[in-house]
Structure 1
Amino acid sequence: MSKDLPVRVLGGPTAFFEYGGLNFLTDPTFDAPGEYGGPGRPTLRKLAPSPVAPTDLGRIDVVLLSHDEHADNLDHAGRALLADVPLTLTTPSGGSRLGGNAKGMADWETVQLDRPGGGTVTVTAVPAIHGPGPREAVEPITGEVVGFVLTGEGLPSVYVSGDNASLDAVKETADRFGPVDTAILFAGAPRFPVLFDGAPLVLDSAQAAEAARILDARRVVPVHCDSWAHFTEGREDVVAAFQAAGLADRLD
């Protein structure tokens, strides 16, 4: 069933898919290449443009936003897009900052969305930690992050990891929702020497393969592994890691 869910990967963390008659977009990043900086923050450098403009996607019903505080997950064009989207689901603090149609979700909170043809899609917020170590040590530095699981009667389950570096968080999700039909895994092993001694802030390729095993994911769509200078591993590294783990047949 999972192969019936096409996912368009649009660069960085951005992906577009239809689910239950609703169109979902993850972490919108549509700016041209450039640099983003701020007081006390490492400079982020975007290397490649998105292959499409937001207007090329047609109707967007829901944005699944792992967090709003970093430009490699929500850039200027992505932020402008939110005003035209009926619903943005994100972190509790992000919902407060964004206002408008944004709704913050705590871990395990659910939202029911009406499907155009009848029935509902359930979106569940799931744990994510944006860096190594326990949440209480990481969040003061990198901020809140959230992942999502989508379910619905007669539909394959979909996991969107968000900027998560914690396999323990993946296991918590797997304990409630595994096996998962399609896992959209943020990877790329982004690193900054000044943060956590250069440890990955999101899953590296080997951890992404382990996450797929933990979830017993039937299909994995890797995102967040191109287009930005601080992503230290690319899709070729993800492919190699899945091959080494004997999971290459699950990789999309």
Structure 2
Amino acid sequence: MSARPDAVTATYLGTATALLRIGGLTVLTDPALDPAPADYPGARPLHRTAGPALTAAELPPVDLVLLSHDQHADNLDATGREVLAGAGLVLTTPEGAARLGGRAEGLAPWESRTVTAGGTTVTVTATPARHGPEGTEPVTGPVTGFVVAYGGGTLYVSGDTVRHDALTEIGTRFRIGTAFLHLGDAHFPSTGDRAFSMSARDGAELARTLGARTVIPLHYDSWDHLAEDPARITEAFAAPDLAGRLRWLRPGVPEAL
């Protein structure tokens, strides 16, 4: 029996990696799938403390990868690159697509691409994102979020972004049902108090701006630079106007949305 075109399940694998099943279409976000512990050298060294809930070998065939950016290991690592090679299509930034080649296609903000697989068609629209304070773009590189519209609703995947004015237009253009927000309040010793992803408070404010009915946290665990206590996310969404919107996914368990 084929999947209902409006049936959606989500499986949280860790960090920014989620496996989505939209009707008959299988989508993977930001595949960071190396085992832990693992270290990644660079200008801002990264240390992974926990591995993914599913290994690459346990994943089903992937029709579509939504890759917010390709330059940081907590969004794309060595194992994740192997998964990209077998995916039907990879949507990412234009700069990332040029580096990756193969099945990668770049979308500028507000550009859309229609994707069909397994009898299901979705429209993916790239959304603005900025991976740090204004002025850090030459260092952090370009990043994108995504809106995925399908027969039964609309999903938003923020990508690694801080909260900034350009995100307001997302809620104006789209009626968001479920928002997957990259949180964690990422900080590095070399950059002091400057944040490179949203905090719990930022996520709550963005949820208000989007008008999202459901918010699912991503990008809040498994790495040293994601140091904000996840309990702060629950606290931030305890405000009366956000009651009932926050939903935690159990790692490795498919859950219907």
TM-score, length basis structure 2: 0.89
Question: Per-residue CA shift, 1:17-57, capped at 9, x if unaligned?
Answer: 1124211111001111211012xx11100000111112212
Letter in 1 for 2:39: E
Q: Could you tell me how far 1:245 is from its partner in structure 2?
A: 5.9
Partner Cα separation in structure 2 for residue 138 and residue 194 of structure 1: 13
Letter in 1 for 2:188: F
Preserved contact between residue 129 and residue 169 of structure 1 (Cα < 8 Å): no
Unaligned runs of 5+ in 1: none
Match of 1:199 in 2: 194
1:31-50 equivalences in 2 (<5 Å): 31-33=34-36, 34-38=38-42, 41-50=43-52
Q: How many residues align?
A: 241
Partner Cα separation in structure 1 for residue 202 and residue 172 of structure 2: 18
Letter in 2 for 1:58: P
Does residue 168 in structure 1 map to residue 165 in structure 2? yes
1:1-252 equivalences in 2 (<5 Å): 5-33=8-36, 34-38=38-42, 41-117=43-119, 120-133=121-134, 137-152=135-150, 154-177=151-174, 179-195=175-191, 197-244=192-239, 246-252=241-247
Q: Post-superposition, which runs of at least 4 consecutive aligned residues in structure 1 deviate over 3 A?
A: none
Change (3 A) 1:203 1:101: same
Q: Percent identity?
A: 45
Q: Secondary structure at the match of 1:157?
A: strand
Change (3 A) 1:248 1:236: farther
Preserved contact between residue 148 and residue 154 of structure 2 (Cα < 8 Å): yes
Partner Cα separation in structure 2 for residue 215 and residue 57 of structure 1: 31
Q: Secondary structure at the match of 1:125?
A: strand
Letter in 2 for 1:155: G
Partner Cα separation in structure 2 for residue 116 and residue 77 of structure 1: 25
TM-score, length basis structure 1: 0.91
Partner Cα separation in structure 2 for residue 148 and residue 233 of structure 1: 24
Change (3 A) 1:169 1:19: farther
Question: Which one is further off, 238-247 or 55-64?
Answer: 238-247
Question: Per-residue CA shift, 1:131-172, capped at 9, x if unaligned?
Answer: 122xxx2210100000000112x3210000000102323212
Q: Secondary structure at the match of 2:130?
A: coil
Preserved contact between residue 239 and residue 248 of structure 1 (Cα < 8 Å): no
Letter in 1 for 2:52: S
Partner Cα separation in structure 2 for residue 7 and residue 226 of structure 1: 17
Match of 2:255 in 1: none
Q: Could you tell me how far 1:223 is from its partner in structure 2?
A: 0.4
Partner Cα separation in structure 1 for residue 240 and residue 44 of structure 2: 33
Aligned-residue Cα RMSD (Å) equals 1.6
Preserved contact between residue 187 and residue 203 of structure 1 (Cα < 8 Å): yes
Letter in 2 for 1:19: I
Q: Secondary structure at the match of 2:153?
A: coil
Partner Cα separation in structure 2 for residue 186 and residue 35 of structure 1: 21
Partner Cα separation in structure 1 for residue 164 and residue 47 of structure 2: 27
Unaligned runs of 5+ in 2: 1-5, 248-257
Partner Cα separation in structure 1 for residue 10 and residue 228 of structure 2: 21
Question: Per-residue CA shift, 1:181-220, capped at 9, x if unaligned?
Answer: 010000000011323x422101100000111111110001
Larger RCO, structure (CA 8 Å, separation 6 or more): 2
Q: Could you tell me how far 1:4 is from its partner in structure 2?
A: 5.3
Change (3 A) 1:6 1:248: farther
